[in-house]
Structure 1
Amino acid sequence: MSHVVEKSLLSDLDSLKERQIGISVFDRPEDWDPKLDNIVRSEARRLRAKLEAYAAANDPEERVRITIPKGSYIATFDVRNIPEPAIGRGPHDSPVLPQRTYIGRFRDARLWALGLALAVTFTACVGVLAAAHDYAVSANDRHRYGATWSIAPFAVDSGRQFSPDISPDGRLIAYVAVDADNGSSNSSDIIVRPATGGSATDLIHNGHYNLHPAWSPSGDRLAYLQKLDTESRLIISGRDGRSQRQVSSIHDATSEWTSSGPLADCQKLSWSRDGRSIYLTSQVADLPDYGIVSVSTADGRQHAVTMPPGVDQDCYARISPDGRTLAFARFISHGVSDIYVVSPEGGTPKRLTYVNSEIRGLDWSADGESIIYAVRDLNRSELRVLNVSTGSFGVLPLNSAWASDPVFSPASQSLAFVEQEDRWTIWRARLDHGHIEDAKPFLTTSGQNHSPSVSPDGKTVAFVSDRSGAPEIWFASPDGSQLRQMTHFGGPWLGTIRWSPDSSRIIFDARPGGHATIFMMAAEDSAPAPILQGDFECRRPSWSRRGDYIYYDSTSHGRSQLWTRSLPDAQSTVIGPSGSQDAQESKDGKDVFFLVQNPGSSSSLWKSSTAPGSKASPLSISPTPVLDWTVANDTLLYTQQHRDSFNLVSYDPRSRRSVVLGVMPQDLSPGTPSLAASPDGKWIFYAVVTHVRSDISLATAPR
């Protein structure tokens, strides 16, 4: 802030260019390319939002209002026409200056001093506001959302607790519990507990995954989803768990775009105010798209409310208190989403935010003027309050770095939310005579590490880590030494790192502009350059064995489809069926293996010759997690869940035989291509979930 104000006052416009700000303020190198690292744009958006929130507070002592118009980094200064108090003012005193706007140099010495003093004052003020989280979204919200809330743990039992919902009278909270310390189990229960504490009641317990409880408007019924392999049952039960009735079957979405876990995913049930409908995320009609659907509680009929374009996915449906507006989060890529509103009957959604980050749940305030939402910002997740009319937002002072899934109760003026944290660690294990031996952590931090990839010369392991505050690509030696950061995107998600055959370059996908873009980068500290991008997903690249073209999947034609891209002439060709993705060539370059996702079913591996016009055929192999497979010498390695652990399996494409090499007892990280083999086939690297914390807290608003 001080840099922008000072340089604007001096009319030093060269210092206010994006590249120079990155170098001067964020310590980027002289050859830094802002097209590949959006830190200046990202921080400018946050600063504009803080300035808008500060202005919305309408401080009577504010003499000069500072704004930074979109499209530039030049500050403007509005001298406010605020009348002086009548007491002590005589008829010959100087009048108040009229309101004017100054851009660049101050011509008036008094205004120069005032502006420079204000720059220092405002910088300190923003620091104070950041500490107190008092970014008021409206004058009426200052007391309610700006002051300190009273926070107490609510459900902190062993295992995981998530997806809370408060009864209309504010007395009971229903939530999901997974009874396992590591979060891994074959079932989940729905628990009901008084909001004031006390003993819990295991309301729904039947050996299935029972998820997303939602109280009816009258509080006499509870809806939830019972998750099966290919669909989910929408069930309504009585308040006491009896009189259960299946309303409908839906194609429930386990989102690949969120990091909230395979059970919490991006689902939420929301009753209409008259109790006649329930809104949730489901596959729309027979299409592969997942939008918001209303389901009749009487006969189970479904009506599509939103139909997101391409492979976008709409999540976290919530009806406003007056029942006239539906809010939801639209995901366009992994960890990239924003909040929209639409009529409960459907229509064209209106976009409210431009955070391009991962929304992790939302709910309405009691008056319907604001939306409380959780958003992942770098390596933390915080709760914010969005003013629906103005678009300004504030941060709730909850002192939680991992808040998600907020639910607000107008009756009790309380807010239930989930404090969720997980750590992903890359492990290394030796393959000795076809068996897993000597499995140990390779790299550990308090955040997420995943997507390992070993160079063909065996000298370098590339991987993704958020140890610097945002997901970035890092390099290390195979023993974990010589650690160095290679990218500086500043978020959000990136991954699928693949080495060129000569170990000189890597390709990967990242999302600095929203949708996944494929980048190429030399291994010797070179800046990454985009080679495939568009208003759709380009992701999961890999190299041909000769290094003259790459494979990737794209959603340019709707569903994911496998393509090749010739590097000499930049020509792209479709080679895979609808739903194909994540290709890897065999070691001899004669075959290519890839995944195919069919709507309503799991992904399976397919094989095709690399010769033009070859026909692909399925291998009847379904890795779990779906992206954990790799080519290793003459075989395929993949993981397969077995009860509460995972088997490492070797598959020989020639004999079509599978052999279990050993058991991996940890939870494997979801949604990442996190299984890699060394070139000699003697070592494997994989990412595991080493720590999970998912508890529910209850915050009470100041009255």
Structure 2
Amino acid sequence: MADVKVELQEVKEESESGTPAVVPTAARTPRRRAAWAAVGALVLVAGVAAWLRLRTESGAVALAPLPLVTDPGFADSPSFSPDGNQVAYSWDGEKQDNRDIYVRLIASGKPLRLTSDPAPDTVPSWSPDGRAIAFIRSRNAIYLVSPLGGGERKVAEGIYPINGNIQSGLSWSPDSKVLAVSEAEAPDQPPSIYTVRIEDGEKRRLTTPPATLGDYHHAISPDGRRLVFARCSRSAGTCGLYLLDLTPDYRAAAAPRLLGMEGGSIADPAWTADGQDIVYMFGPAGVSHYLMTLRAEAGAQPQRLTFAGDNVLSPAISTRGNRLAYAVNLSDVDLRLIEPGKAARSIAPSTRSDANPQFSPDGRRIAFSSDRTGVTEIWVCDQDGANPVQWTHFGDRHSGTPRWSPDGRSIAFDSQTKGGRRVFVMASDSGQSHRLTSDQATEIIPSWSADGKSIYFASDRTGRNEIWKAPSTGGKATQVTRDGGYVAFESLDGHRLYYTKSAGGASPLWVKPVEGGPERKMVESVAARAFVVEEDGVYYLTGVAAAGTSSIQFYRFASGQSELVAGIEDRRLSVGLTVSPDRKRFLYSGSTRVGQNLMLVEGFK
């Protein structure tokens, strides 16, 4: 720890003197020279061995990710120091109980903790002059802290949104005088890109998206002349990567121009050091994330960085040293079954992500989504998890959220198309499917009406997610909610609609009459897509508490109170909850293994 602070102090002094932030060998003590020489020798030996091992037949060297941060818990959002020898990142700590900002030397295993506020500190961004690290606290304030630690300074307050469950970050101007940030004027308003002046917190709007879209993840180019950002639907079902020319004082010089569209979420764009290419995260289904690269010019085609693998996010590129860092999620999400008197166990397990389970009306089968083939598809297995069978085969078109019709003859699900996510209905005997509507709008998370004649779904066609419904045989959609809606289930008598409004994390459960009328908050906190409506009440999963536990609760209509059904010890929950027809078996998706590491790639250009 002491060595980290000493090295960082030397970097700070050199930055303030205007010289490159590289620690000169002559300035080190003999003891530290010897220690670093030993480390250097080991790194050199390892590097030579890796080089020999990874030479391709053509003589080129293959890029090989190496572990950078492997501490228990979740490390995220790496940001390089100007010399590329240190990295700042967000980590939930040894106890995985709070996200704070840390710094570590690339060659050192001991991090330096910079913040300790009880609120979550995320998306650190190291200033180009090396003097400060900016970060967002609680999604509502921007702070600066020295890379050496110490006092913090609040720069601005606002509503800094997430999209696709990923926090939009911060990007510096090359002179370290301005930060770019994605900010919304109100919680239900689409965000735009703003600049924030470090000196006094003055804000200037750079972009104004259409009402049905929002401007999120962004990065200022190394020369300060361009800004790349993601313009996405509110559900992140479809995103476009846009380029905005900037004036010398970081104002918009012209209207943004589209570089390319993606049928899925785009996040965390990062410029290569020469300002020619952009690396970004692409999530075609919101589950598996890849790294993509795109030349910053019209007509360029994105290419996948296959060496990084799956479930990766938060790419960062050093301006010196040819280094790439990113986070890789190691969590294993399984279907988890709870039966009376038994501990939770995994069924139909895989090493990939299995989520969104639902029992068939007769309780003999389970539909769920899984990316065990590399693409998220709809699967069906027996009630005990045996005999899993893939039911959709759309190639690179990711599908999810399967919902059985009341008669068990059809399954509704959402699937990615070139125009965004749409709802489809599939016959359970033939596998034939058709689109629910012909509307050119995002449609996600379907559910059936009690009589099977209608299908509810969420759509952001009005500018925010609301609940809509359409005839199950296909036809015109009609709006159901007016104050927000995301996941909905109709009561068994068809008179009431129960729904949540948040796209990510836990949120309140609301109820309103199907035929219209005021809404009422019923339960304060329900985990994502995790509630089941019965005749006498609602089963639901609570959000994960600070202690890392959750529970299945039953809200009884007669008493207006919730009762504990079963405790859950999974530290992370995914999406979905289903209850067998006899109400004795409960199935949800949770992580049997959790963690997120940071990886480092040397020689990346």
- Both proteins in one fold, TM over 0.5: yes
The SS at the match of 2:420 is coil
How much has 1:529 moved relative to structure 2? 0.6
Match of 2:137 in 1: 226
* Partner of residue 622 from structure 1, selected from 515, 521, 524: 524
* Partner of residue 343 from structure 1, selected from 234, 237, 245: 245
Match of 2:157 in 1: 249
* Partner of residue 526 from structure 1, selected from 425, 428, 431: 431
* Partner of residue 689 from structure 1, selected from 584, 587, 591: 591
Q: Does 1:162 align with 2:64?
A: no
How much has 1:218 moved relative to structure 2? 1.0
The SS at the match of 2:68 is strand
* Partner of residue 274 from structure 2, selected from 344, 367, 379: 367
Number of residue equivalences: 541
- 8 Å CA contact 1:236–1:247 kept in 2: the answer is yes
Q: Which moved more, 1:450-459 or 1:331-340?
A: 331-340
Match of 1:235 in 2: 143
Distance 1:527 1:167, change over 3 A: same
How much has 1:451 moved relative to structure 2? 0.6
How much has 1:275 moved relative to structure 2? 2.2
- 8 Å CA contact 2:415–2:421 kept in 1: the answer is yes
The SS at the match of 1:511 is strand
Residues 507-518 of structure 1: pairs in structure 2 closer than 5 A:
507-518=412-423
Match of 1:654 in 2: 558
Q: Distance in 1 between matches of 2:382 and 2:213?
A: 38
Q: Distance in 2 between matches of 1:636 and 1:188?
A: 33
Distance 1:355 1:592, change over 3 A: closer
Match of 2:366 in 1: 461
- 8 Å CA contact 2:435–2:474 kept in 1: the answer is no
Q: Distance in 2 between matches of 1:518 and 1:701?
A: 43
- 8 Å CA contact 1:149–1:397 kept in 2: the answer is no
Query: Residue 455 of structure 1 aligns to which amino acid in structure 2?
Result: S
Query: Residue 257 of structure 2 aligns to which amino acid in structure 1?
Result: K
Query: Residue 549 of structure 2 aligns to which amino acid in structure 1?
Result: S
1:207-241 superposed Cα distances (whole Å, 9 cap, x missing partner): 331111111121111111112xxx42210122322
Match of 1:23 in 2: none
* Partner of residue 456 from structure 2, selected from 545, 551, 555: 551
1:231-286 superposed Cα distances (whole Å, 9 cap, x missing partner): 4221012232223111112212232x25xxxxxx1422111123222112222467
Residues 401-412 of structure 1: pairs in structure 2 closer than 5 A:
401-412=310-321
Residues 478-489 of structure 1: pairs in structure 2 closer than 5 A:
478-489=383-394
Q: Distance in 2 between matches of 1:162 and 1:299?
A: 29
How much has 1:511 moved relative to structure 2? 1.5
Distance 1:305 1:513, change over 3 A: same
Q: TM-score, normalised by structure 2?
A: 0.82
Match of 2:121 in 1: 210
Q: Distance in 2 between matches of 1:419 and 1:541?
A: 30
* Partner of residue 97 from structure 2, selected from 186, 196, 201: 186
The SS at the match of 1:578 is coil
Distance 1:310 1:457, change over 3 A: farther
Q: Which moved more, 1:478-487 or 1:341-350?
A: 341-350
1:610-629 superposed Cα distances (whole Å, 9 cap, x missing partner): 3x3x4233134133423211
Distance 1:286 1:459, change over 3 A: closer
1:518-537 superposed Cα distances (whole Å, 9 cap, x missing partner): 11111113221101243322
Q: Does 1:443 align with 2:348?
A: yes
- 8 Å CA contact 1:160–1:180 kept in 2: the answer is no
- 8 Å CA contact 1:208–1:226 kept in 2: the answer is yes
Match of 1:51 in 2: none
Q: Distance in 1 between matches of 2:284 and 2:495?
A: 44
How much has 1:413 moved relative to structure 2? 2.2
Q: Distance in 2 between matches of 1:629 and 1:225?
A: 31
Match of 1:124 in 2: none
Q: Does 1:174 align with 2:174?
A: no
Q: TM-score, normalised by structure 1?
A: 0.71
1:32-53 superposed Cα distances (whole Å, 9 cap, x missing partner): xxxxxxxxxxxxxxxxxxxxxx
Q: Which moved more, 1:439-448 or 1:416-425?
A: 416-425
Larger radius of gyration: 1
Distance 1:308 1:537, change over 3 A: same
- 8 Å CA contact 1:154–1:197 kept in 2: the answer is no
Q: Distance in 2 between matches of 1:638 and 1:523?
A: 27
Distance 1:605 1:373, change over 3 A: closer
1:72-108 superposed Cα distances (whole Å, 9 cap, x missing partner): xxxxxxxxxxxxxxxxxxxxxxxxxxxxxxxxxxxxx
Q: Distance in 2 between matches of 1:580 and 1:702?
A: 43
Distance 1:534 1:293, change over 3 A: farther
The SS at the match of 2:331 is strand
- 8 Å CA contact 1:214–1:271 kept in 2: the answer is yes
Query: Residue 244 of structure 1 aligns to which amino acid in structure 2?
Result: E
Q: Which moved more, 1:689-698 or 1:453-462?
A: 689-698
Match of 1:609 in 2: 513
Runs of 4+ in 1 over 6 A off after TM superposition: 131-134, 377-380
- 8 Å CA contact 2:212–2:461 kept in 1: the answer is no
How much has 1:359 moved relative to structure 2? 3.4
Q: Distance in 2 between matches of 1:590 and 1:300?
A: 51
Match of 1:32 in 2: none
- 8 Å CA contact 1:606–1:616 kept in 2: the answer is no
How much has 1:449 moved relative to structure 2? 0.5
The SS at the match of 2:542 is strand
Distance 1:312 1:664, change over 3 A: farther
How much has 1:180 moved relative to structure 2? 4.9
Match of 1:277 in 2: 178
Distance 1:515 1:132, change over 3 A: farther
Q: Distance in 2 between matches of 1:502 and 1:638?
A: 24
* Partner of residue 298 from structure 1, selected from 199, 209, 229: 199
Match of 1:5 in 2: none
- 8 Å CA contact 1:454–1:676 kept in 2: the answer is yes
Distance 1:479 1:325, change over 3 A: same
How much has 1:327 moved relative to structure 2? 1.2
How much has 1:406 moved relative to structure 2? 1.9
Match of 1:561 in 2: 466
1:5-63 superposed Cα distances (whole Å, 9 cap, x missing partner): xxxxxxxxxxxxxxxxxxxxxxxxxxxxxxxxxxxxxxxxxxxxxxxxxxxxxxxxxxx
Q: Distance in 1 between matches of 2:328 and 2:450?
A: 45
How much has 1:197 moved relative to structure 2? 2.5
Distance 1:336 1:133, change over 3 A: farther
Query: Residue 252 of structure 1 aligns to which amino acid in structure 2?
Result: Y
- 8 Å CA contact 1:471–1:490 kept in 2: the answer is no
* Partner of residue 664 from structure 1, selected from 549, 565, 568: 568
Q: Distance in 2 between matches of 1:601 and 1:477?
A: 29
Distance 1:376 1:539, change over 3 A: closer
Distance 1:380 1:566, change over 3 A: closer
The SS at the match of 1:587 is coil
The SS at the match of 2:436 is strand
Q: Does 1:540 align with 2:445?
A: yes
Q: Distance in 1 between matches of 2:240 and 2:476?
A: 33
RMSD across aligned C-alpha pairs, in angstroms?
2.9
How much has 1:298 moved relative to structure 2? 2.4
Q: Distance in 2 between matches of 1:550 and 1:535?
A: 17
Match of 2:399 in 1: 494
Residues 117-132 of structure 1: pairs in structure 2 closer than 5 A:
none
Match of 1:414 in 2: 323
The SS at the match of 1:352 is strand
Distance 1:132 1:500, change over 3 A: farther
Match of 1:505 in 2: 410
Q: Distance in 1 between matches of 2:64 and 2:391?
A: 42
Q: Distance in 2 between matches of 1:562 and 1:392?
A: 35
Mind listing any 5+ residue stretches in structure 1 that lack a counterpart?
Answer: 1-130, 135-142, 259-264
Q: Distance in 1 between matches of 2:433 and 2:237?
A: 21
